[in-house]
Amino acid sequence: MADEPIRVTVWGEGRHEKRDANVLAHYPDGMHATIAAGIAEHAGPAVTVRCTTLDDPEQGLPDSLLADTDVLTWWGHIAHDEVSDDLVDRVQRAVLAGMGLIVLHSGHYSKIFKRLMGTSCALRWRNGDDRELVWTVDPAHPVAAGVPSPIEITNQEMYGEFFDIPAPDELVFVSSFTGGEVFRSGCAWRRGRGRIFYFSPGDQDYPVYHHPDVRRVIANAAVWAAPSATREPTPISYAPTDWFAKP
Amino acid sequence: MADEPIRVTVWGEGRHEKRDANVLAHYPDGMHATIAAGIAEHAGPAVTVRCTTLDDPEQGLPDSLLADTDVLTWWGHIAHDEVSDDLVDRVQRAVLAGMGLIVLHSGHYSKIFKRLMGTSCALRWRNGDDRELVWTVDPAHPVAAGVPSPIEITNQEMYGEFFDIPAPDELVFVSSFTGGEVFRSGCAWRRGRGRIFYFSPGDQDYPVYHHPDVRRVIANAAVWAAPSATREPTPISYAPTDWFAKP
Amino acid sequence: MADEPIRVTVWGEGRHEKRDANVLAHYPDGMHATIAAGIAEHAGPAVTVRCTTLDDPEQGLPDSLLADTDVLTWWGHIAHDEVSDDLVDRVQRAVLAGMGLIVLHSGHYSKIFKRLMGTSCALRWRNGDDRELVWTVDPAHPVAAGVPSPIEITNQEMYGEFFDIPAPDELVFVSSFTGGEVFRSGCAWRRGRGRIFYFSPGDQDYPVYHHPDVRRVIANAAVWAAPSATREPTPISYAPTDWFAKP
Amino acid sequence: MADEPIRVTVWGEGRHEKRDANVLAHYPDGMHATIAAGIAEHAGPAVTVRCTTLDDPEQGLPDSLLADTDVLTWWGHIAHDEVSDDLVDRVQRAVLAGMGLIVLHSGHYSKIFKRLMGTSCALRWRNGDDRELVWTVDPAHPVAAGVPSPIEITNQEMYGEFFDIPAPDELVFVSSFTGGEVFRSGCAWRRGRGRIFYFSPGDQDYPVYHHPDVRRVIANAAVWAAPSATREPTPISYAPTDWFAKP
């Protein structure tokens, strides 16, 4: 509906790439660059994509950039605690005002995801080089468009239930792993005026963000999460006296 | 809350037992008898349990029995089409008025389940002697009380997504299978004043209803689905003139 | 996402217009023509709109037209029982395969709505010339775009709770009436691959479908309900052997 | 199911009663005492009820009391900011581990409710001495048992939409007000292993907690929110190796 491209900002923690040769081998320009390239590749002219990282000024998200972002993607892992509470406040306000948020993999434990969910967001996990199969349980959902069911990810960390999240407003994907575990791997919520999507594939130890179907899902999610209207903060109070007309 | 025992009626199609030696070997008194015994065993004095089958008078559910039932369980497979539309009408009305309904395994394709869901209720399946693991995704749900996560069912038919149902009001169990498939195997809905639970384990070719955890879940579901009040048909129309007092 | 216009078909019962001078005065070309004009007015080139009625051949919906429809709107009242079960079957299949369906006002009691909901769809009502206020409870929902909260409808029939429907997947509007009653007046569901929206304003005795905000909502709903992919029937069975017996 | 009474703790802010003669006139022993008496009156031997307030040691909720509480009710208004973040952390953990939480009226803006919801929890309001009608939209819900639809509250503050909360898992009550506004006044959520109910009637300026139907709803909610099992913290991580590497 919008004629303007959706302004996507890919936020990356950017730390594994600085210390783990294995991660750097998969992602020489950083995981964020690969995620951004996947979105650009699949969403095409519908989006413009920028990258930013924790070690950039203002932890990568000055107010000016946040105000210029329609959809934010978030990947973090070993530095969740370094993200300032002030940034979490600002991102939360942006989401409630309409900005879309895509949380990826270990971002389940980020401050911003826990803030928006209200739960512990804990899960089971095992780094055991499992095969993950990502099954579509809502085949008409726009986020699932154009990918096979299942998506097969040959090498991946296992994430399993119980995943301590609010029941999703829309459950799109459920994964199984070699060990027999299952996981709600694609979950959508509406919070305030914003849309949130969590997608679990994507451990730093495996080249998951090069997988074409994974890229397609993230691009779909970015388009789906875009606000349909101008961002609007929720007012703190109202004076709706126009409807007050007692006899 | 109720002091009276919950009146559970176990409806069984009862046809496989008459023609398949394998089924009869697992269930010499009929699958329904085993299901009923499991409910009685686990729910104890909280319930009274009766069995009835398709080949009983009035297809097993005369009005008098339906009126005397708090929770109905339904297992059918090869004779769904024989169930009369009149019986489907009467069971639907009872559910909307407050009766609980537990639909088991191949009952997903029963007329009554399709009637209450409004969808095709189609699913993937394969009779390949899989191992099924039933994982709890809502650990505080009363239906999941007292069972391990996962429940392991050594030999079972595979049921897989996409399962064409309305998104459950409460998703309790998700299963995986040897082939890597996943399935929303424990789903709860509220319809009218009634509660509905679908639980997928239980093919006639395997002794699944002898499994203690499966029995426990069905017993839990029967207690959970019991109406909290006297059954009450939804009125067709109202005359709420007591609130009409325009100036 | 689609470049092709959305093909909207407005189905009208078309009977009140033939016998009630009051209705004909409000809707000289039929209620359906006014509904169609409102959709065309607000959705513009995003849609093409056609009308059809119960008294047209094949009750207005031959297979060829149904196959050529992305979104169907449905208004009926005094002739629900005349709609053939075969047509209900065909519309249900089309919705489950991806066609959008917008059910209006007294259409809550149509066969197709009851079929898709699985409940009685009963409600309270009073034809007492109330003022209806339609409040938005999900301000970022595309169906609520561009309308004030509340929409004020000066003269309208009262529809009140309890409305016997499955809990909506998305609740968008809640109305109040002069008598103090409330009603879930804008409700969305996903069923199979299709999207369903129920919008209650619109009694034949009042010129509600000339109200610009009501027209805007229906146009929004038509765009929202359009399938994002080619319509696809749910297969009855599968043979997913490709995922079986992998090492 | 539990044989032990449900241990209910009524937390009151207790400040209005110390400074507003009007509030003290309605609630000479504090609002919390009246709320507690209503729960005890309607839930009877199913509960034991204690009161505690913000000005008690450890803001009324030392760990020992929290550990001895099955269901906590929360009323606050003018001192939300004084509640320590540490207490909010501890109450959140208790809820996620299974404790029930009933949030009343202006408690919508409490730190603990905003923490668990993840949204702003803003709403419209007007202190205009409205009549509130509380309609039941889920008549079989245990929280609505035994109260008329609508409950009529003669004098009450207006709370109106948009109420910025996650879509409730179960919507039980919707209110209308003299001014024509509507409000989702009875909302249930599951978070972690805990159940949360928000019920909006109850401003300090009106004697709402003496209303027998309001008392009945709060007592129902306390029973409904009680955990069905021993409280269990969500583990931070797991080592589910028992399911790994099976053939």
Taking only the tens place, the pLDDT of each residue in C109-119 is: 999 999 999 99
Q: Is pLDDT of B49 > 60? A: yes
Name the neighbours of D, counting chains with at least 3 Cβ pairs within 8 A. A, B, C
**Interaxial angle between packed helices C212-225 and C31-43, expressed in degrees from 0 to 180 and rounded to the nearest 10:** 70
Q: What is the structure's pLDDT at A152?
A: 95
**D177 in any annotated domain:** no
**Is the CB of B238 less than 8 angstroms away from the CB of C125?**
yes
Cross-chain CB nearest to B136 (options A135, A162, A247): A162
**A162 in any annotated domain:** no
The span from the CA of B93 to the CA of B83, in Å, is: 16
Secondary structure of chain C: what % helix, strand, coil (to 5)? 35, 30, 35
Q: Starting from the edge strand earliest in sequence, which strands make up the sheet with B100-104, in order?
A: B47-53, B6-12, B71-75, B100-104, B194-199, B182-191, B170-177, B124-136, B151-160
**Is the CB of C140 less than 8 angstroms away from the CB of A190?**
yes
**Is the CB of D145 less than 8 angstroms away from the CB of B227?**
no
Residues of A with Cβ-Cβ distance to B182 under 8 angstroms: 133, 135, 137, 174-176, 182
Structural tokens at position A59: 């932890």
**Is the CB of B140 less than 8 angstroms away from the CB of D243?**
no
Q: Is C45 on the interface with B (CB under 8 A)?
A: no
Query: pLDDT tier at B246 (50, 70, 90 boundaries)?
Result: very low
Residue D19 contacts by C-beta under 8 Å, 6 or more apart in sequence?
A: none
Name the neighbours of B, counting chains with at least 3 Cβ pairs within 8 A. A, C, D
**C1 in any annotated domain:** no
The span from the CA of B213 to the CA of B210, in Å, is: 9
Let me know: does B124 contact C238? Beta carbons within 8 Å: yes
**B1 in any annotated domain:** no
Query: DSSP string covering B134-200, please?
Result: EEES-TT-GGGTT--SSEEEEEEEEEESPP-SPPPSEEEEEEEETTS-EEEEEEEEEETTEEEEEE-
**A150 in any annotated domain:** no
Length of chain C: 247
Residues of A with Cβ-Cβ distance to D235 under 8 angstroms: 122
CA C138 distance to own-chain centroid: 18
Q: What is the structure's pLDDT at C233?
A: 63
More confidently predicted of B233 and B118: B118
The span from the CA of D65 to the CA of D72, in Å, is: 10
Let me know: does C71 contact C206? Beta carbons within 8 Å: no
Pairing of strands D100-104, D71-75: parallel
The span from the CA of D39 to the CA of D19, in Å, is: 26
Q: How many contacts, defined by CB atoms under 8 Å, are there between A and C?
A: 41
Pairing of strands A194-199, A182-191: antiparallel
More confidently predicted of B72 and B19: B72
**C23 in any annotated domain:** yes
More confidently predicted of B98 and D129: B98
Residue B215: DSSP 8-state? H
Low-confidence stretches of chain A (pLDDT < 70) are: 1-2, 230-247
Four-residue CA torsion sign, D74, D79, D81, D84:
negative
The span from the CA of C101 to the CA of C74, in Å, is: 8
Could you report the per-residue pLDDT of A138-180, keeping only the tens digit for each?
A: 999 999 999 999 999 999 999 999 999 999 999 999 999 999 9
Q: Mean pLDDT for each 10-residue chunk of chain D (247 residues)? A: 83 94 94 98 96 98 96 97 97 95 97 97 87 95 95 93 96 96 97 97 92 98 89 52 39
Q: What is the structure's pLDDT at A245?
A: 37
Let me know: does C226 contact C215? Beta carbons within 8 Å: no
**B218 in any annotated domain:** yes
Minimal C-alpha gap between A161 and chain B (Å): 6
Residue type (1 letter), B181: E
Tell how many helices (H) and how many strands (E) occur in chain A.
7, 9
Give the C-alpha distances (Å, rounded to integers) separating D106 from B164, D28, D50, D111: 42, 20, 21, 11
Cross-chain CB nearest to D174 (options C131, C133, C161): C161
Q: Is C166 helix (H, G, I), strand (E, B) or coil?
A: coil
**CATH code (residue D20):** 3.40.50.880
Q: What is the 3 state secondary structure string of D137-170?
A: CCCCCHHHCCCCCCEEEEEEEEEECCCCCCCCCE
Nearest-Cα residue of chain D relative to residue A163: D192
Residue type (1 letter), C61: L
**Is the CB of D180 less than 8 angstroms away from the CB of C131?**
yes
Residues of A with Cβ-Cβ distance to B247 under 8 angstroms: 247
Q: What is the structure's pLDDT at C242?
A: 42
Q: Is A189 on the interface with D (CB under 8 A)?
A: yes
What is the count of structural domains for chain D? 1
Q: Is pLDDT of C231 > 70? A: no
**Is the CB of D228 less than 8 angstroms away from the CB of B193?**
no
pTM of the entire structure? 0.95
**Is the CB of D166 less than 8 angstroms away from the CB of A191?**
yes
**Is the CB of B162 less than 8 angstroms away from the CB of A180?**
no
Could you report the per-residue pLDDT of B203-213, keeping only the tens digit for each?
A: 888 899 999 99
Query: pLDDT tier at B191 (50, 70, 90 boundaries)?
Result: very high
Q: Is B136 on the interface with A (CB under 8 A)?
A: yes
Residue to mutate among B106, B108, B113, B119, with most C CBs inside 10 A, is B119
Query: D41: domain range?
Result: 6-121+183-234
Report ipTM for this prediction.
0.93
Q: Tell me the residues of chain B between 63 and 122 that have a Cβ less than 8 Å away from chain C.
A: 92, 96, 115-120, 122
**D243 in any annotated domain:** no
Q: Is B144 on the interface with A (CB under 8 A)?
A: no
Q: What is the structure's pLDDT at A127?
A: 83
Minimal C-alpha gap between A41 and chain D (Å): 33
Q: Is D230 on the interface with B (CB under 8 A)?
A: no
Nearest-Cα residue of chain B relative to residue D146: B229
Q: Is B41 on the interface with A (CB under 8 A)?
A: no
